[in-house]
Structure 1
């Protein structure tokens, strides 16, 4: 029986692409959540301390 290695290589290529997309989405999700937390912390800081800042008027 002759095994078709090109089909096996193609399947491995597709699997590798799926895994890379999954990892990229996990990294992007963490970055987006981190940016949202930083923005919320900055907004909270500036709203609580706006009167103490030198450019508040």
Structure 2
């Protein structure tokens, strides 16, 4: 569903924010071919690891 929706909207990237302490989910995205873009650590917002993949 995500890829089809992206194609309809002419999106080039699919991005996912992951909690900075969720190493298992980060590994999951990496294994799917996502690239780690950056990690931002904030006390008030734990979802700071950004991953993306071309669609």
What is the TM-score with the length of structure 2 in the denominator?
0.22
Of structures 1 and 2, the one with the larger relative CO (CA 8 A, separation 6+) is: 2
More helix per residue: 1
What is the TM-score with the length of structure 1 in the denominator?
0.21
